[in-house]
Copies of this chain bind each other. A is one copy, B any other.
Amino acid sequence: MSEKLYTVVEGGSITTPAGFVSGGLHCGLKKTDRNDLAAILCEVPATAAAVYTTNLFQAAPLKVTRESLGNGVLRAVVVNSGNANACTGAQGEADAYEMRAAAARHLGVSEDDVAVASTGVIGELLKMDCVRSGLASLPEKLDGGASGAEEFCQAILTTDLVKKECCVKVNVGGKEVLIAGAAKGSGMIHPNMATMLGFMTTDAAVGQEELLTLLRQATDTTFNMITVDGDTSTNDMLVAMASGLAGNETLGRQHPDWEAFAAAFTHVCRHLAQAIARDGEGANHLIEVVVSGAEDVAAARAIAKTVVGSSLVKSAVFGADANWGRIIAAVGRAGVPVSVERVDISLGEIEVLSQSRPVAFDEEKALAYLQGDTVLITVNLGDGDGSATAWGCDLTYDYVRINAAYRT
């Protein structure tokens, strides 16, 4: 996908596409005074689609959101952090429904046009007093500028250190279309329990079915290709809303600019996914694993995710140790066929394995490379045309510190 099909909008966020306002506030779910309740509101009914965690224990808000998405239209998304509202039984479900109803009432929209998302601790009931009073104050906090997006982005964070947002523009039949997204996620990311949440906004006019298909495809190569700790959350959710206010002819797969739109949309997903991996709990480095020459794409994905998820590979990157033995061991346990005599491995530009044989390399140079911000691991299998890229982060003392003390 060529970057020329679209342009990144510096400083853009979820309120940049026409029709969207957002905001956030602190209602009391987090122990600190950081924001913990937020919403995005679209001024018109938005064509909408969502993808959800594959974890069998799906949190209550996912059930409510699926119901709202039944007709493919949303006006708003309301989200809280500090509590996942997962494994909370009938009361948790009632709370999620009440959260949706109250948000709808205060925002002046229909209940079934509101999606609900939650992230935080599992197994505790929501403090509904906080949620109720927060929702009453939320409408006045919404705006369509940078501060509205900032307050929203801050409100969805848990162990995240930085907000994640992205905006691109793409030409569709002569009209400028904007696509933006915001996400959170730092631990229980394989898309994970501190939870991955993502919110996409666009002012494109786009068919609902096509939007859902695109969302699924983009997720497969972006959010589903990251891992922080191999743990898949009960609350993962990615919601996209398209206002249609760009005034373009409605996009579908046959539209001449579909490819550009899809590339731009995928760029936003990839940017957010990388940002989540880079901000993985305790992470010092972004690790990118590019696998090529696999039997097929599924094999390439399995290998890329196994390598990027290996605790030993992650620890070696933390220690700036060019320990390719751990990389090839991960390739060999990925559960897919590999010709064991034909593997090439590089760290950045430094070749360390060629045709499964060690290559003498400059340890000092490798050390310097591995101390950089991003570590690229390239694996070529020489078996076929399958390729895939996965992202993760190193395993550090801080990961252990954060997760040894998360709940208390």
Residues of A within 8 A of B (CB): 54-58, 84, 86-89, 121-124, 187-188, 190, 193, 229-234, 309-312, 315-316, 318-319, 321-326, 328-333, 337-338, 340, 353, 356-358, 395-397, 399-408
Q: Which of B84, B190, B315 lies in contact with A325, CB distance below 8 A?
A: B84
Q: Give the docked Cα–Cα distance between A306 and B354 (Å).
A: 34
Cβ of A400 and Cβ of B404 under 8 Å apart? Answer: no
Q: Give the docked Cα–Cα distance between A353 and B89 (Å).
A: 11
Contact residues of A: prevailing secondary structure: loop
27 pairs of residues in contact across A and B, judged by CB atoms under 8 Å: A56-B331, A56-B332, A56-B338, A57-B328, A57-B332, A57-B356, A86-B329, A87-B328, A87-B357, A87-B358, A123-B324, A188-B326, A193-B325, A229-B310, A229-B312, A233-B329, A234-B332, A315-B400, A315-B406, A319-B403, A319-B406, A321-B404, A321-B406, A323-B406, A397-B397, A397-B400, A400-B400
Cβ of A403 and Cβ of B231 under 8 Å apart? Answer: no
Copies of the protein in its oligomer: 2
Cβ of A188 and Cβ of B312 under 8 Å apart? Answer: yes
Residues of B within 8 A of A325 (CB): 84, 86-87, 121-123, 193, 234, 407
The residue of chain B having its C-beta at the shortest distance from the C-beta of A358 within the complex is B123
Residues of B within 8 A of A58 (CB): 340
Q: Give the docked Cα–Cα distance between A358 and B124 (Å).
A: 8
Cβ of B406 and Cβ of A333 under 8 Å apart? Answer: no
Cβ of A329 and Cβ of B232 under 8 Å apart? Answer: yes
Residues of B within 8 A of A400 (CB): 315, 318, 395-397, 399-400
Cβ of B340 and Cβ of A57 under 8 Å apart? Answer: yes
The residue of chain B having its C-beta at the shortest distance from the C-beta of A86 within the complex is B325
Distance to closest chain B CB from A52 (angstroms): 12
Residues of B within 8 A of A328 (CB): 57, 87, 122-123, 234
